[in-house]
Amino acid sequence: MTVLLCEFKEDVTSYLRERTDPEVVACRDLADLIRFNEEHREEEMKYFGQELFEKAQVGNFFVAKKTPVCKNSPCKIIKIPCDI
């Protein structure tokens, strides 16, 4: 679940930042989406909440990344912060 939330936050932010027309897409990241949903609660959250959005937003995630130790050795796994 942690990886899902981290990737969700990264991917939503990336998707929204690719949208260039602020008149069409005013939200630029997950925090903006959460705020928008709260401001339009009756329309946007009529049937469900945004618990996963909120978990993804506040999570302090780390992701595993393979990195070579040196040219002739196998990769080792390191933990890096989820880059948003």
Q: Per-residue pLDDT tens, the chain, 84 aa: give them.
A: 777 887 888 889 888 888 877 777 788 889 999 999 999 999 999 999 999 999 998 876 555 554 555 555 555 555 555 554
The confidence score (pLDDT) of residue 84 equals 46
Every domain of the chain and the residues it spans = 2-58
The whole-model pTM stands at 0.65
Q: Determine the Cα–Cα distance for residues 6 and 22; give it in Å rounded to an integer.
A: 25
Q: Which two tokens stand for residue 42?
A: 């009756």
The confidence score (pLDDT) of residue 6 equals 79
Return contacts of 16-22, CB within 8 angstroms, 24+ apart: none
